[in-house]
Structure 1
Amino acid sequence: MITIAVSDFRAHIQKYLGYISRGEEIVITSRGKEIARIIPPENKIDSARKRLKELAKTAVLKNVIDPISVSWKSLT
């Protein structure tokens, strides 16, 4: 995380946008107080993989090959 004054951010905005695009978080201050926080967008592929891993932990696998013991009528 990078902390900078708003005046420095204004003067070097391209430089700091480069940091953000590389995943760096920036805190902007005015007179020593935090006034803004810029965070890069999350990587959608990584967050989707993380969510799938979480779902896989709760999955219940059953035997789908053997016939079931319950009889049912077909439509034909």
Structure 2
Amino acid sequence: MKNVSISEFRANLLKYLRVVQNGEQLNVTSKGTPLATLTPPVSQHKTSRAKLRKLANTAIIHDVLSPIDDSWDAMK
């Protein structure tokens, strides 16, 4: 994680935002005291895909098309 002073951050805002966008975390400090931590945005697509993969590994698939012995109102 990279540390940068608030004055340096202000002077080169776009440069540091690109650094964060490329995946690096950045601490903004004032007189050595951390003010904020900037992190890259979370990709909703990647997060959703990971959750679906995890769910797929635990899913139990059965035959849901074949009728059972019980008569349902929907089948009439």
* TM-score interval, smaller chain: 0.7 to 0.9
Written as runs of structure 1 = structure 2, the 5 A alignment for 1:1-12 is: 1-12=1-12
Given the two structures, how large is their TM-score scaled by the length of structure 2? 0.81
Given the two structures, how large is their TM-score scaled by the length of structure 1? 0.81
What percentage of residue pairs aligned between the two structures are identical?
36
1:67 counterpart residue number = 67
How has the CA–CA distance of structure 1 residues 60 and 75 changed in structure 2, closer, same or farther, with 3 Å as cutoff?
closer
**Alpha-carbon distance, 1:46 to partner:** 0.5
- Matched to 1:60, the amino acid is I
Q: Is 1:30 paired with 2:21?
A: no
Aligned residues: 76
* CA–CA separation in structure 1 for the residues paired with 2:40 and 2:54: 23
Local SS of the residue matching 1:70: coil
- Backbone CA RMSD of aligned residues: 1.8
2:14 counterpart residue number = 14
Local SS of the residue matching 1:42: coil
* CA–CA separation in structure 2 for the residues paired with 1:74 and 1:21: 53
* CA–CA separation in structure 2 for the residues paired with 1:30 and 1:59: 50
**Alpha-carbon distance, 1:27 to partner:** 0.6
